[in-house]
């Protein structure tokens, strides 16, 4: 993470990225439609975890309330589609992002006054405010029934692609996969630029030593606040993209165990690396889907994975793989 | 007027249960600096075990041999079982973590929460368990023109005596002195010859016992269902944040504030009843980060 990007490593990074993106782009031709759908979910969660990790990995703040921003994005889209009759997904994204950033700005303003455990509790308490509102104001939010957002009503790319007529579901799955993939690629690039910009370096300085960062002249609270908003916006985008895929938004995505799942994803992949949360989110999605499908006690399974992970592999998948490859290389 | 008295009694009932949970949470944080996300699930475990014990006892005992007093005495078994579970969890799962950042404490206890939720589902099945028979047998008391279940008064009394007992235990016994010394300076306590590892197990077990007792006494009044632990944890957080993490007095005052606000909320503004509680916690954290009774 810390090493300066030299010419050679930038090239290698670019090549690897192109290969991965190409592989992701051609994948739907070779797998079943269900797998494509599953991977879309994985990419959506990857955006969420990417945003979350700007706070945990780069700013050193553990939020236990990121369900708030995921849910805010999701509910904003549901309201926009249901109450304003908007069909264009692009307008939904704009509206949803505006709503999420507003809430993240408000909550962030409060939360960045604290660090460590109090930051975690504050973010959790505030996210539960939103949950309780979505839960209780059932005549607005549908309560536990949630709000249905039919994918057939939406259009992509400013109305170029719509989903009316026969075979709509299949067309939606494929079109939406590429839509999410494109936004995922854009989000990843933006996040990469952010964490490698002077702003990103300042966040890392704050993470490593707050007092010194302040001495250097960084206004710590304001930087944390901005990071909080960016983080919320990314997670909000994930919530926005998740709604048409899921077809329904319920208070579950605002409830605090969902925040725990976002934390889980980042730790699974390794929050000390840039790619960790992405890998973690995709893997977590597969893990959870298959655990739920194969046993009634999937929570037990995931809980065991989490405990073992923290005890034995605190650097996550990416960190462990990196360590193993460098060991292998050293031997050769 | 009668309604008013009943609402106050309801608040005390609720405060008693919340205090038991929050005091355990606070004690564990105070001594070990661990925020236990699985604490609510320990409460749920206590409720399930007690309901199961009472239910099986009723099923197996010859009718009439098991009096009301016998059933009441069976209830605390849930708390003892939870304490035993805690005594196993602390040395195996938590001890390796004390030297690591707080993030890992949250993660491991979150994993523990997931595991225990499913263990409860595995052991007791997905159907709710209740010990409502105890409540029925105890009957009710007339208050004005209305009646009030006698059992609720037992719960209030339990909460009251638990508060006094815990206070006496921590401030008036030798073990309490050792506990407070360990919480203030772990290394100094260790240098003075205190077996810190044992104190940690005992403190964690006591905290778990409190949570389990909360579950045990609530189960005759409310059924144990899946997910009650997750729900109650956030409320316990509100209590300890308002009162101050690690403070016993804080847990008591916080529990009273939360339950009175909640009772009033359900009566007057039911839609935002929960939101108000979380906002109160936020406000307290902003104005007094250490809570009303917390130390810096």
Q: Where are the domains of chain B?
A: 24-228
Q: What are the angstrom distances between the C-alpha of A249 and each of A113, A175, A210?
A: 31, 21, 39
Residue B293 tokens, joined: 């009774």
Handedness of CA B212, B215, B220, B224 (dihedral sign): negative
Residue of B nearest to A308 (CA): B108
Q: List residues of A whose CB lies inside 8 A of any B CB.
A: 56, 62, 64, 110, 113-114, 116-118, 120-122, 124-126, 128-129, 132-133, 135-137, 255-257, 260, 263-264, 267, 296-300, 302-307, 310-311, 314
* pLDDT at residue B63 is higher than 70: no
* pLDDT at residue B52 is higher than 80: yes
* pLDDT of the residue at A157: 77
Distance from CA of A251 to the nearest CA of B (A): 13
- Residue of higher predicted confidence among A140 and B122: B122
CB within 8 Å: B285 and A116? no
* pLDDT at residue B30 is higher than 60: yes
Are the C-beta atoms of residues A121 and B106 closer than 8 Å to each other? no
Residue A159 tokens, joined: 């109305």
Distance from CA of B81 to the nearest CA of A (A): 20
- pLDDT tens string for chain A (332 positions)? 444 445 677 788 888 888 888 888 888 878 888 888 889 999 999 999 999 999 998 988 889 899 999 999 999 999 998 888 888 888 889 999 999 999 999 999 888 887 778 888 889 888 988 888 888 887 778 777 878 887 777 777 776 777 777 777 788 888 889 999 999 999 999 999 999 999 999 889 888 888 888 888 888 889 999 999 999 999 999 999 999 888 888 888 888 889 989 998 998 888 888 888 999 999 999 988 988 888 888 889 889 988 988 888 888 888 888 888 888 887 76
Residue B172 tokens, joined: 């008036």
User: What gap in Å lies between CA B206 and CA A173, rounded to an integer?
Assistant: 53
- Please list every residue in chain B whose beta carbon sits closer than 8 Å to the beta carbon of residue A136: 270-275
User: What gap in Å lies between CA A181 and CA A175, rounded to an integer?
Assistant: 10
Residue of A nearest to B280 (CA): A125
Residue A168: CB atoms within 10 Å: 13
CB within 8 Å: A307 and B119? no
Residue of A nearest to B121 (CA): A297
* pLDDT at residue B295 is higher than 70: no
* pLDDT at residue B53 is higher than 70: yes
* pLDDT of the residue at A43: 93
Query: Domain spans of chain A?
Result: 20-256
- Please list every residue in chain A whose beta carbon sits closer than 8 Å to the beta carbon of residue B100: 314
Query: From the list A114, A264, A303, which residue is nearest B112 (CB)?
Result: A303
* pLDDT of the residue at A281: 93
Query: From the list B104, B106, B282, which residue is nearest A126 (CB)?
Result: B282
* pLDDT of the residue at A332: 64
* pLDDT of the residue at B272: 84
pLDDT bucket at B62, cuts 50 / 70 / 90: low
Residue of B nearest to A124 (CA): B234
Question: Which residue is listed with tokens 């959790």?
Answer: A124
- Residue of higher predicted confidence among B270 and B24: B24
């Amino acid at each position: 993470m810390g090493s300066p990007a030299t010419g050679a490593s930038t090239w290698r990074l670019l090549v690897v990225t192109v290969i991965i993106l190409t592989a992701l782009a051609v994948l739907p031709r070779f797998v079943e439609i269900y797998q494509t759908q599953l991977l879309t979910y994985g990419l959506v969660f990857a955006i969420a975890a990417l945003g979350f990790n700007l706070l945990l990995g780069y700013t050193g703040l553990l939020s236990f309330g990121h369900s708030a921003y995921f849910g805010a994005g999701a509910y904003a889209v549901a309201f926009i589609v249901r109450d304003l009759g908007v069909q264009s997904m692009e307008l939904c994204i704009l509206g949803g992002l505006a709503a999420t950033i507003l809430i993240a700005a408000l909550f962030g303003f409060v939360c960045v006054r604290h660090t460590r455990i109090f930051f975690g509790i504050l973010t959790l308490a505030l996210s539960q405010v939103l949950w309780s509102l979505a839960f209780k104001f059932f005549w607005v939010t549908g309560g536990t029934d949630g709000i249905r957002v039919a994918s057939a009503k939406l259009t992509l790319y400013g109305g170029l692609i719509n989903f009316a007529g026969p075979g709509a579901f299949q067309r939606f799955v494929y079109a939406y996969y590429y839509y999410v993939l494109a936004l995922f690629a854009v989000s990843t690039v933006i996040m990469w630029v952010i964490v490698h910009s002077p702003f990103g370096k300042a966040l890392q300085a704050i993470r490593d030593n707050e007092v010194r960062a302040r001495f250097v002249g960084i206004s710590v609270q304001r930087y944390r606040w901005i990071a909080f908003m960016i983080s919320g916006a990314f997670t909000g985008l994930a919530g926005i993209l998740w709604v048409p895929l899921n077809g329904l938004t319920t208070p579950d995505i605002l409830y605090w165990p969902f925040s725990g799942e976002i934390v889980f994803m980042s730790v699974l992949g390794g929050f000390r690396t840039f790619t960790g949360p992405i890998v973690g989110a995709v893997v977590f999605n597969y893990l959870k889907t298959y655990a739920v499908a194969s046993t009634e006690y999937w929570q037990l399974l995931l809980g065991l994975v989490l405990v073992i992970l923290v005890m034995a592999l605190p650097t996550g998948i990416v960190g462990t793989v990196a360590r193993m490859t460098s060991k292998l290389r050293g031997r050769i | 007027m009668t309604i008013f008295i009943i609402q106050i009694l309801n608040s005390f009932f609720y405060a008693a249960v919340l205090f038991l949970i929050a005091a355990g949470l606070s004690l564990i944080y105070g001594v070990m600096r661990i925020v236990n996300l699985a604490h609510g699930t320990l409460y749920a475990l206590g409720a399930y075990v007690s309901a199961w014990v009472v239910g099986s006892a009723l099923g197996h005992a010859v009718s009439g041999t098991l009096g009301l007093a016998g059933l009441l005495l069976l209830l605390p078994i849930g708390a003892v079982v939870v304490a035993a579970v805690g005594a196993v969890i602390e040395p195996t799962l938590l001890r390796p973590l004390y030297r690591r950042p707080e993030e890992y404490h949250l993660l491991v206890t979150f994993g523990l929460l997931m595991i225990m939720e499913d263990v409860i589902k595995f052991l007791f099945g997905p159907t709710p368990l209740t010990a409502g028979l105890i409540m029925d047998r105890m009957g009710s008391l007339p208050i004005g023109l209305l009646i009030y279940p006698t059992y609720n008064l037992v719960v209030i009394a339990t909460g009251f005596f638990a508060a006094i007992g815990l206070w006496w235990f921590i401030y008036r016994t030798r073990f309490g002195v050792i506990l407070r010394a360990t919480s203030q300076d772990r290394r100094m306590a260790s240098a003075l010859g205190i077996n810190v590892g044992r104190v940690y197990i005992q403190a964690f077990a006591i905290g778990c016992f409190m949570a389990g007792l909360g579950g045990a006494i609530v189960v005759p009044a409310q059924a144990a269902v899946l997910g009650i632990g997750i729900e109650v944890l956030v409320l316990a957080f509100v209590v300890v944040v308002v009162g101050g993490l690690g403070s016993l007095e804080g847990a008591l005052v916080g529990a009273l504030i939360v339950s009175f606000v909640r009772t009033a909320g359900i009566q007057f503004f039911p839609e935002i009843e929960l939101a108000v509680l979380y906002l109160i916690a936020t406000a307290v954290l902003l104005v007094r980060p250490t809570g009303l009774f917390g130390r810096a």
